[in-house]
Amino acid sequence: MRYWAYFSAKLIVAGGVLYGLLLLLSGLLPEETRLNEYDAFRNGPLRLVNNLAFMGWFLLCAGVLYLIIRDQRYRCRVCLRRLRMPIETGSWGQMLQLGRPRIEYICPYGHGTLKAEELQISGLANPEWTPHSDDMWDELYAASKEPGDQP
Ligand SMILES: [Zn+2]
């Protein structure tokens, strides 16, 4: 819940800033006056400047949205810190033994692991988030246990 609230807050703040920039931009540019149908041809350079400015604003919006989504994708789902320590796992040469190549990121506080496919063959695949248990010793004990052992 906190993860999506942070994402929504970033979108709202960016939307507010970009809308303010749009208002500022539309106030700076001269208003186009059209008295008859031939004025569109006389005001060509003015229209060009207006359209280029708004196209630049649109590209800025798309870039900001991309950065927000990219930043959110590589954040911990629990504590919202940036995921760190990327490790390449798997191998194309030994795919049957080690699996497909992936990049794994972990939360510095041990909340979970994000596994992202290295190669996106069939479109953009969502990275897989695996939460860790609160007790880090469980995983260590589980690795050393024999299948028939009783606790
Ligand atoms: Zn975390």
> What ranges do the domains of the chain cover?
2-73, 84-144
pLDDT of the residue at 134: 72
Locate 135 and state its tokens.
């007790």
**Tens digit of pLDDT for each residue in 5-41?**
999 999 999 999 999 999 999 888 777 666 666 666 6
Distance separating alpha carbons of residues 37 and 148, to the nearest angstrom = 87
Give CA–CA dist 103/146, Å, rounded: 29
CA 101 – ligand 1 centroid, Å: 24
Ligand 1 centroid – CA 127 distance (Å)? 16
The helix-helix angle for 44-73 and 2-28 (nearest 10°) equals 170
Mean pLDDT of 141-147: 68
Looking at per-residue pLDDT, the higher value among 5 and 98 belongs to 5
Q: Which residue type sits at 119? A: L
Average per-residue pLDDT in the chain? 85
Distance 131 CA to ligand 1 centre (A): 9
d(CA 111, CA 140): 15
Task: Give residue 10's pLDDT.
Answer: 96
Q: Give me ligand 1 centre to Cα 76, in Å.
A: 5
In contact, 96 and 63? CB cutoff 8 Å: no
DSSP H or E segment with residue 8? helix 2-28
Calculate how far, in angstroms, residue 130's C-alpha sits from the geometric centre of ligand 1: 12
Residues flanking ion ligand 1, Cβ below 5 Å: 76, 78-79, 107, 109, 111
pTM of the model: 0.74
CA of 17 to the centre of ligand 1 (A): 29
